[in-house]
Structure 1
Amino acid sequence: MLYVVTGPPGAGKSSWIRAHAKARDIVIDMDLMALAMAGPGADHHNHSDILLKVVHRARFAAIREAEQHIDKTDVYVIQTLPSAQQRANYKRLKAKLIVVDPGRDIVMQRIEAMRQPGMKAVATKWYRANRGQSRSAMPQASRNW
């Protein structure tokens, strides 16, 4: 099964996956990939443009390959803002969409405390794109920081 986990930055997407994925599942998470490819002591959420370019290419390749195996293992993909083309592909693959959204106030507090200021704009864009849409929400009000 393919799970596409979406939500604004700081919503708890990675935490949701940690609570649901098994050790043998495939998890495609930009933050974890960037951290794995960065040098020792790298910040968890603040990466250079060059590193992010490398990670994006690796991520796309990983998704393409993982899609070939969703009949044999569960695959979890974090995708904050899937494009229309990506949504169509996920629909074709019969992916299960998981929305993690503890609410705008909590997200903005988390970004203020732990993320780069630019993530507020990404969160605002996510909330605008998802305003008024009916979706199966998976609220996550809090987690241990």
Structure 2
Amino acid sequence: MLFVVTGPPAAGKSSWIEARARARDIVIDLDRITRALTGPGAPQWNHNPTVTRVALRARYAAIDEALKYTDTVDVYLIHTMPSPKWLARYRRHGGKIITVDPGEALVRQRVRDMRHPGMDAVVTRWYRHHRRGGSRPVTGQASRAW
């Protein structure tokens, strides 16, 4: 099964997956991929353009390969704001779209406390898109202890 987990930055998407995924499942998370590709001491949320470019290419390759195995393992994929084209692709593979959103005020506080200041613009874009009628299943689940 394919689970596509969407939501604004700092919403708890990784925590949602950690609460459900088993060791044999595939988890595709750009933050985890970026950490795997950087050296010791790199920031947890690395926004270096070169590292991001390499991590995105690795993510696309991982998605292409993982979609071949959704009948034998669960695939959890974080995609903050998938385009209609990506959503159609995921649905063709039987993907279940999950939106994690604990609320804009909490998300903005988490971004202020823990993320790069540039992520605030992504939060604004995400909420603007969803107010216009983006995907709907929204959970107010609590995530990790921030």
TM-score strictly above 0.5: yes
Q: Give aligned pairs, total.
A: 145
Deviation, 1:142, is 4.9
Instruction: Indicate if the aligned counterparts of 1:106 and 1:141 stay in contact, CA closer than 8 A.
Output: no
**Helix, strand or coil at the partner of 1:80:** coil
Instruction: Indicate if the aligned counterparts of 1:34 and 1:47 stay in contact, CA closer than 8 A.
Output: no
Deviation, 1:84, is 1.3
The answer to whether 1:135 aligns with 2:136 is: yes
Change (3 A) 1:30 1:142: closer
Instruction: Indicate if the aligned counterparts of 1:6 and 1:78 stay in contact, CA closer than 8 A.
Output: yes
1:1-145 alignment to 2 at 5 Å? 1-133=1-133, 135-145=136-146
- The sequence identity of aligned pairs, in percent, is 55
Runs of 4+ in structure 1 displaced over 4 angstroms? none
**Helix, strand or coil at the partner of 2:108:** helix
Matches of 2:29 and 2:20, distance apart in 1:
14
Deviation, 1:140, is 2.3
**Helix, strand or coil at the partner of 1:97:** strand
**Helix, strand or coil at the partner of 2:131:** coil
Matches of 2:50 and 2:129, distance apart in 1:
28
Structure 1: state its 5+ residue gaps. Answer: none
**Helix, strand or coil at the partner of 1:41:** coil
Deviation, 1:132, is 4.9
| Per-residue CA distance 1:68-98 (angstroms, 9 max, x = gap) | 0000000000000101110110111110111
Deviation, 1:136, is 1.3
Matches of 1:55 and 1:40, distance apart in 2:
16
RMSD: 1.1
**Helix, strand or coil at the partner of 2:54:** helix
Residue identity in the other structure for 1:57: R
